[in-house]
Amino acid sequence: MKDKIKTITQLTDEWYQLIGKDHHKDRDCHFYINTVWSYGQNPVYRVEHYGYIVDEIEEDFYSYDEAVSFLEKKLKEIIKQEMCAQERERQESFDFLR
């Protein structure tokens, strides 16, 4: 688990470095795993993100480990998507200058 937490910390830094040079809102850099207790049931671990750059994330899991694994996977996915989007923008800018 410590390795996953370390990886997620590194991924959130990579995400910030990737979007930090462009205009973004502070909330783009916050990701959450909240524990929800309701109606005497076992807790649910909710992964949440309410930024502007990527779609809202709100996914529930029945174990903390599953939530952490999902967040790690999701961060890798959105970093890859943003890198591709930025590359397309650079290419379009370059094409425009020709």
Q: Which two tokens stand for residue 5?
A: 């937490």
Residue with tokens 């502070």: 26
Report the alpha-carbon distance of residue 29 to residue 9 in Å, rounded. Answer: 11
**Residue 81's domain spans which residues?**
2-97
Report the alpha-carbon distance of residue 44 to residue 65 in Å, rounded. Answer: 12
Task: For residue 34, give the amino acid letter.
Answer: N
Element (H, E) at 48: strand 44-49
| pLDDT at residue 72, as a whole number | 98
What pLDDT tens digit does each residue of the chain (98 aa) get? 889 999 999 999 999 999 987 666 788 999 999 999 999 999 999 999 999 888 899 999 999 999 999 999 999 999 999 999 888 888 877 666 65
Number of domains in the chain: 1
The closest of 44, 49, 45, 43 to 74, measured between CA atoms, is: 49
Flag whether the pTM goes above 0.85. yes
